[in-house]
Structure 1
Amino acid sequence: MNSLQKLYETVSARKDAQTEGSYTCYLFGQGLDKILKKCGEECSEVIIAAKNGDNSETVLEISDLLYHLTVLMVQQGITLEQVEAELKKRSGKQGNLKTFHQVDKNT
């Protein structure tokens, strides 16, 4: 079992257990807005650490972001298998720089 799978299983178990003093349980109790806020904060911290060129700090912040994204996934009922399937689908694409992810900048 890889680390992400183990993390996902731990987060899933904590969602159901509602253990007092658990940060994961706290996040689930606070709901989607709190989880999203933490994902945003951690994303910003990854950017700052990377911009500062501190790889050890960047690794810590990426780990925090992955944890909070995992909490979001569990809260939303998104499985690792769904994400892995999407990544596998994307890995076969080539030469699609312009079409990979288009955003309507008018909205």
Structure 2
Amino acid sequence: MTDHRLDVLAALGDEVMQRRQASPETSYTAKLLSQGVEKCAKKFGEEAVELALAAVLREKAHTTSEAADVLYHLLVLLTAADVKLSDVMAELARRQGMSGLAEKASRPKD
């Protein structure tokens, strides 16, 4: 199995949680979190669009950089929404081995 360095993502998640207590004047993460979930969601969306555009342009280095930004801003958004990364990972584990079509069919209908 390939080493995807998920330990780095978990460590970053812990750091984002710790930065919640920092001063917004000295920490970009604390500044984002102090502006609320709406601002964090907006920033995540902006970064996701930048990632999509870089991927469409097939700019590998830019895509890599934007993907890192997306993961960081996802962790900030999860923190702002009071959702633990471990809960997201548990949900992914629950879905493991299930086809995407079966998983979508199992969701409650809106």
TM-score range, shorter chain: 0.7 to 0.9
Matched, 1:101 2:109: no
Match of 1:84 among 72, 89, 92: 89
Point out 4+ residue stretches in structure 1 off by more than 4 angstroms.
none
Match of 2:20 among 6, 15, 18: 15
Letter in 1 for 2:103: F
Matched, 1:65 2:107: no
The TM-score with structure 2 as length reference comes to 0.82
Cα shift readout 1:6-51 (whole Å, capped 9, x = no counterpart):
1011111110223522110110111112111101100100110000
Q: Which residue is equivalent to 1:48?
A: 53
Partners in 1 of 2:38 and 2:51 — Cα distance?
20
Give 3-state SS (helix, strand or coil) of 1:86's partner.
Answer: helix
Partners in 2 of 1:81 and 1:87 — Cα distance?
10
Match of 2:38 among 5, 21, 33: 33
Where does structure 1 lack aligned partners over 5 or more consecutive residues?
Answer: none
The TM-score with structure 1 as length reference comes to 0.85
Give 3-state SS (helix, strand or coil) of 2:103's partner.
Answer: coil
TM-superposed CA distance for 1:101, in Å, is 2.8
Quick one: percent identity of the two aligned structures? 37
Partners in 2 of 1:101 and 1:61 — Cα distance?
27
